[in-house]
Structure 1
Amino acid sequence: MTPILQNLVEMTGHRDHLRLEVSVLSTLQKLTSVIEVRALELFTDSGQAHVRPRTWVEDGQLTSTDSEAATDPRRESLDHYPALRECIETHGDSALASPRKGRHVLWLPVWMHEKVHTCLEITQSRPFSAHKLDVLKGVFAVYQNYQSLLDYSERDALTGLFNRKTFDEQFSRHTMQGLPSRAGAVVETLAAEESASSTEPIQQWLAVVDIDHFKQVNDRFGHLYGDEVLILVANILRSSFRSHDRIFRFGGEEFVVLLRSTTLSTAHKVFNRFRTAVQEYPFPQVGQVTVSLGFVSTTKGAPVEILGQADQALYYAKEHGRNQVCYYDELVAGGELASKVVGNDDVELF
């Protein structure tokens, strides 16, 4: 088996987007004349298109970050990449440029749902031959097709949010954000910036969200309108949280949010801002819809225990008026809830 086929076999053995991205860059980096490979993230901030490296080579090793793109100091305006910008504007499949002698760059945008959020960038020391372009585009096509398959398997079909089966791995990555690592360097910088103006510690948070009286929506207006409510709530969730936070639909009208690297007071504000956004949204035919939310720090405990605590806070909110945000530790400190360790054999969540 040729080296490139061996790399393709390894690449398609991954079941995670980030590992797949690292694997395809590793494959491309081994090709002759290639001197640099990067995965770029494209995003919009304040109406302006930007680019930032998400996976790159540092000290001979591939390094990744999933920190918030909008505050990444590495970000650049897309205008600094005119060939790539034109490629995206014309819905092209590749772009070439030679910014200076001895550097020839190929960009391969990843199109998904008529949008580009990721682009592979390959830089080599000599111009790209027709044969080399065919090889690179062939590897890229395998990567893009496999990305689509992974995306389909990880997403809820109705809302497009992450599904339940992706939660454990995302939770593990989420709780590692505070640990020192090269991939987490940007996250630590952002955490330090927030803590500089606050005495509160930076933590990671998990929230469980439930749509109030959702059964009544289905019973009164039918499941078609019920599905529309779920889709619109999912859209409000997306717009209420940052790109590096994670949102899941666990089933029915229940959602889970992993909120990264912020203080307790900020978490309260963010979750209440989302609750208010839902309350004020004019849902077609249905009118007003509200949500209840319970949240907890992810500092200690297994996923099932932390989910159980957030769930307890959620159901306290629902049993005491709904349309509110409750913090588990505050309820325990106030004597409203008894602190309880939840084990795998104690309860089946959702």
Structure 2
Amino acid sequence: MLDKKDAGPPSLLNKLVSLTTIRDIELFEFSLLKTLAELLRINQISMYSLNQTDTTCWFSTYSANLAQDDNKRQFSESQEIYTTEITIPEEIRTAQLWIETTKKPYIHHQVDRYLVVYPILAVNKIEGMLTFELSHSLTEDEMLIISSLLSITHNFRSLLDESQKDKLTGLLNRQTFEENIKKISVHTLSSDMNQEQVGNEPNRRKSYAETERFCLAIVDIDDFKSINDRFGHIMGDEVLLLLSYVMKQNFRTRDLLFRFGGEEFVVIFRASNKEEAHRALERFRNKIQEYRFPQIDTVTISMGATLINEVNYLASEIIGRADQALYYAKQNGKNQLHFYENLLQNGHVVDKKEVISIDSF
């Protein structure tokens, strides 16, 4: 057997084969960073994924040092998948302007380092930027590695993205739901364990687990069958398209938006607490109520929501809790939002010990 220390550098072909076996977009992005770090033999590489607002971005990074840390190895991948939203740094704005103007990568020499920024392209626009530092200027071989890998993975990512989207609305499809719940559960569990480890340290910074949780809400269009019956299925599809448009505008880029089929949607998003989650969902409900749909005019939605925490990691249990809250909203006047936790506390729903199947609602 070839000794690991005697093995040559990883080949581009082998890395491409490994990358194209991945079927999860966020894991694919993280693996792309890791692959480039290994091929270029650098310790750290980062990605800035631009938001629609053009003022903030999602920052993720791969660090070889983090991966080698025994205390953090088991958490490193799940934590990197869920990245941090930040204001776009001025240096990245400068790089973006340079790339858009010159159509070339941005390379800035400062004393003993070179900052390299490569664009990650979508259709007719830059959707993100890849950044890393070198102690030398890029060689032709290194430029070939980067351009080849980004070109091939861009095409593969487009196919992967297409396979996970609902054909009508462009939101995530139902098949991707359970896998996303599993990732969130692993992340939440990792954060909880990390919080316990540092819990006794004085004057410590608040951990990610303390400042952000996840909320899941089921969104159901009120009287959608009546809309189809009165205006036809073409207008019904138009309502679904417009609702998904408002949903994309209301929530953040990295929030998970699903169409489950028919008039049912699911949103999973980060919130510091239930009150913040309630405000975000109420804002969305009001946006839909105020939106003027062609011919139909007013459309309303009912929502049932629940927090994702250490108590309910199973996808079927989480969706079941939200579904109970949605049922209560539909039975008590529609066009309203209810949280499972509030209904349980007030005795309006029962904590069912048998979890509800995802396919039951």
With the shorter chain as reference, the TM-score category is: 0.7 to 0.9
Task: Name the residue aligned to 1:164.
Answer: 174
Task: Name the residue aligned to 1:130.
Answer: 140
Deviation at residue 270 of structure 1 after TM alignment: 1.8
In structure 1, C-alpha distance between the alignment counterparts of 2:347 and 2:30, rounded to whole Å: 48
Indicate whether 1:66 and 2:62 are aligned.
Answer: no
In structure 2, C-alpha distance between the alignment counterparts of 1:97 and 1:55, rounded to whole Å: 19
Partner AA of 1:4 in structure 2 = L
Task: Name the residue aligned to 2:258.
Answer: 248
Relative distance call for 1:96 and 1:77 in structure 2 (3 A) is: closer
Deviation at residue 307 of structure 1 after TM alignment: 0.9
Q: How does 1:143-162 map to 2 (within 5 A)?
A: 143-162=153-172
Task: Name the residue aligned to 2:72.
Answer: none
1:231-279 per-position Cα deviation (integer Å, ceiling 9, x unaligned):
1111222222233432111111101111324222222222111111110
Relative distance call for 1:65 and 1:347 in structure 2 (3 A) is: closer
Task: Name the residue aligned to 1:197.
Answer: none
3-state SS, counterpart of residue 158 of structure 1 = coil
Relative distance call for 1:28 and 1:266 in structure 2 (3 A) is: closer
Which of 50, 56, 65 is 1:42 aligned to? 50
The alignment's TM-score, normalised by the length of structure 2, stands at: 0.80
Partner AA of 1:330 in structure 2 = N
Relative distance call for 1:95 and 1:228 in structure 2 (3 A) is: same
Indicate whether 1:315 and 2:331 are aligned.
Answer: no
Task: Name the residue aligned to 1:334.
Answer: 346
Task: Name the residue aligned to 2:337.
Answer: 325
Task: Name the residue aligned to 2:61.
Answer: 55
In structure 1, C-alpha distance between the alignment counterparts of 2:13 and 2:83, rounded to whole Å: 32
- 218-227 vs 150-159, greater mean Cα deviation: 218-227
- 248-257 vs 213-222, greater mean Cα deviation: 213-222
More helix by share: 2
In structure 1, C-alpha distance between the alignment counterparts of 2:283 and 2:347, rounded to whole Å: 26
Gaps of 5+ in 2: 1-7, 68-75, 196-204
> Aligned pair count?
331
Mapped contact 1:10–1:23 kept (Cα < 8 A): no
% same residue: 33
1:57-107 per-position Cα deviation (integer Å, ceiling 9, x unaligned):
2625376253451xx3xx4435554233232356x3x41313314433443
Runs of 4+ in 1 over 6 A off after TM superposition: none
Mapped contact 2:59–2:83 kept (Cα < 8 A): no
3-state SS, counterpart of residue 306 of structure 2 = strand
In structure 2, C-alpha distance between the alignment counterparts of 1:234 and 1:312, rounded to whole Å: 23
3-state SS, counterpart of residue 31 of structure 1 = helix
Indicate whether 1:29 and 2:40 are aligned.
Answer: no
Name the Cα RMSD after superposition.
3.0
Relative distance call for 1:175 and 1:8 in structure 2 (3 A) is: same
Which of 267, 290, 297 is 2:307 aligned to? 297
Partner AA of 1:291 in structure 2 = I
Task: Name the residue aligned to 1:278.
Answer: 288
Task: Name the residue aligned to 1:196.
Answer: none
Mapped contact 2:218–2:267 kept (Cα < 8 A): yes
Task: Name the residue aligned to 2:4.
Answer: none
The alignment's TM-score, normalised by the length of structure 1, stands at: 0.83
Gaps of 5+ in 1: 194-201
In structure 2, C-alpha distance between the alignment counterparts of 1:86 and 1:125, rounded to whole Å: 22
Mapped contact 1:55–1:65 kept (Cα < 8 A): no
In structure 2, C-alpha distance between the alignment counterparts of 1:306 and 1:342, rounded to whole Å: 12
